[in-house]
Structure 1
Amino acid sequence: MIARVNNVTITTILIILNFIILVHGASKVPCYFIFGDSLLDNGNNNNLNTEAKANYPPYGIDFPNGPTGRFTNGRNMADILGELLGFDNYIPPFASATGREILQGVNYASGSAGIRNETGSHLGNQIFLDLQLQNHHNTILRMVDLVGNRVATNAHLNTCLYIVGIGSNDYINNYLVPKHYSTNSLYTPSQYATLLVQQYAQQLKTLYEDGARKIALFGLSQIGCIPQELQKHNTRKCVDSTNEAIQLFNEKLKSLVTNLNNNFPQAKFTYINMYSISSIMSTYINLNFLNYPCCNVSTTTAEGQCVSGQAPCHLRAAHMFWDNFHPTENGNVIAIMRAYNSFLPSDSYPMDISHLIQSG
């Protein structure tokens, strides 16, 4: 019961009611924010000076609007999760998000981006995680302008789902390409993983300080099994040394989740074990079953990405990989279904996304 009603209290009530009107709907969370790399990017790289873009066919061949900047044939993981959450529309990219739609969420992900600012820079410009966080802060300022009150804005943000899927490029487009980066000669795999997770911890603290309370962190998949690594090492078997380096990062990230939950009891962080989930890739490779990319990939400019305008394979649902790096829509569906509702106990820690969004 409110003991004292004044202008501030009435104003706050009106602001909260305005929020309800603005973001009404049947979604399981009122808002959904996405940070990461090309696995989640839905158009932020389109107008950047970079080779890491996917706004041309055959990308998007199975997406209703055709090529949009999604690095796959259809929906990416962010899209599929948005559907599971009950959103009527796909969350817009920061590059084009306008007006009241930002109250339901924004996608900040950028192809070739990493935890480290220099990651992917040999491909051109990218929106690294620190810059994505700055973009999110700018979005919050726009939300305050729409709503008129930072307190109500924070209350709204506290109820949102945040997903962060980043770190793959810190290996694929940094540590594993000594031609362009010195990290491989400066750090052992263990030292590099420690360095990455330490920086990531500070970035996640920033996200928390900006109102995030339900955060799902996607670990790294079996990068040693992607077609690009197989071709680079001229092998048909997963590259063990790469996967071992990836697991060092994942183990430290899982420990970070424990620490974050202990240090920020008002928030809930969860780890999505993409390494375990992506084990289906190594199964396909061991069976030698359609483990090659569905589209014709470039060997020069934008190496490993689809060649513009060339027809892809017909049996896309049977392929795990669309190009040398990214899953097909079918692969994305498998991954997100297990992230949302764990198929195995190892798929998430301490909970899957369906339980994260229900947590208090």
Structure 2
Amino acid sequence: MGFASINVSVITLAKSFNLPYLSAYLNSLGASYTNGANFASAGATIRFPSPIIPASGGYSPFYLDVQYQQFMQFKDRSQIIRKQGGKFAKLMPKEDYFRKALYTFDIGHNDLGAGFFSNMSIEEVKATVPDIVNRFSIYVKNIYEVGGRSFWIHSTGPIGCLAYILTGFPSAEKDSAGCAKQHNEVARYFNYKLKEAVFQLRKDFPSAAFTYVDVYSVKYSLFSEPKKYGFELPLITCCGYGGKYNYSDAAGCGETITVNNTKMVVGSCDNPSVRVDWDGAHYTEAANKFVFDRISTGAFSDPPIPLNMACHRNV
């Protein structure tokens, strides 16, 4: 079961187990959910977002509370459908699957971004982190209460290395990799509080398995040592147009724009397989694979267990 602001980790995770990609909860009738469900939504936050799409710069209305409510609907309705029988019953998970499932979370990044772009100071955004993490813990506890026992929880990434932050805050102090230093400091503080919360969850629910995954370190290595891993131009958007970082929120990937009285579609760079930043806010498929290949080994997890052992209680 995946809860996230983006679903790349959920998709890659399923593939690593040789399972079909997880169907989105909101898929049309007829989708198969026998291997789980994906509740992720691009632009999702933990707290109620402001503004919401389609407002300029808006975030998904499917924030974590909505994702959780959808999960509860799915849990109940899937069993009703199974009991009714018929052709749709075989597309639903068995009741005991919910206890055996791995619940994955990759969310929080957009809460920080929303704060940065709402005229809050760095310190003010940082001050919101404890509440954001506390709200996250509540939903994990709620899923435990209805049977969840295995949780795979990602830290947030180095938000200050992404083009939408670097473009939005051009005067931000940069670190040696060229990333916005203070914005990354807030991300690291979020991860510190998140790791604390995971430790507390372990104490509160000793019969469950909670794995904290340090995604930040892996992602940051793509910006600090790109050549070492076969990447280039890590701060420059692959699919974008305009400015120092080839990014503008007025010329998003796939949009049609007018340049020198000529219409053009904002398209991909020539070789996305060696690039890190896809569209200014998301990573390329190659970068996501790089990250997943490393975190799935358990080398960046606490406890240091591989993904295929994440459904076992942490010792």
TM-score (norm 1): 0.71
Change (3 A) 1:79 1:320: same
Counterpart in the other structure of 1:135: 70
Question: Shift in Å at residue 352 of structure 1?
Answer: 3.8
Change (3 A) 1:143 1:177: same
Match of 1:313 among 253, 259, 269: 269
Question: Shift in Å at residue 190 of structure 1?
Answer: 4.2
- Where 1:253 maps in the other structure, the secondary structure is helix
Quote the Cα distance in structure 2 between the aligned partners of 1:99 and 1:159. Answer: 23
Question: Shift in Å at residue 185 of structure 1?
Answer: 6.0
Change (3 A) 1:187 1:118: farther
CA deviations over 1:212-244 (Å, ceiling 9, x no partner): 111111110011111122222336711110011
- Where 1:208 maps in the other structure, the secondary structure is helix
Provide the aligned C-alpha RMSD in A.
2.7
Match of 1:175 among 102, 106, 115: 115
- Where 2:135 maps in the other structure, the secondary structure is helix
Counterpart in the other structure of 2:168: 232
Structure number having the greater strand percentage: 2
TM-score (norm 2): 0.80
Instruction: Report sequence identity in percent.
Output: 23
User: In the alignment, is the contact (CA less than 8 A) between 1:92 and 1:107 conserved in 2?
Assistant: yes
Matched, 1:265 2:206: yes
Report matched runs for 1:177-192 at 5 Å: 177-179=117-119, 184=120, 188-192=124-128
Matched, 1:357 2:311: yes
**What stretches of structure 1 of length at least 5 have no aligned partner?**
1-32, 41-75
Matched, 1:290 2:218: no
**What stretches of structure 2 of length at least 5 have no aligned partner?**
85-92, 242-246, 257-264
Match of 2:248 among 288, 296, 299: 299
Structure 1 window deviating more from structure 2 (207-216 vs 132-141): it is 207-216
Question: Shift in Å at residue 328 of structure 1?
Answer: 0.6
- Where 1:163 maps in the other structure, the secondary structure is strand
User: In the alignment, is the contact (CA less than 8 A) between 2:24 and 2:39 conserved in 1?
Assistant: yes
Question: Shift in Å at residue 281 of structure 1?
Answer: 2.9
**Amino acid in structure 2 at the alignment position of 1:262:** K
Structure 1 window deviating more from structure 2 (235-244 vs 249-258): it is 235-244
- Where 1:277 maps in the other structure, the secondary structure is helix
User: In the alignment, is the contact (CA less than 8 A) between 1:119 and 1:170 conserved in 2?
Assistant: no
CA deviations over 1:277-324 (Å, ceiling 9, x no partner): 1122321579993221111246344x6554354431121110011110
User: In the alignment, is the contact (CA less than 8 A) between 2:240 and 2:248 conserved in 1?
Assistant: no
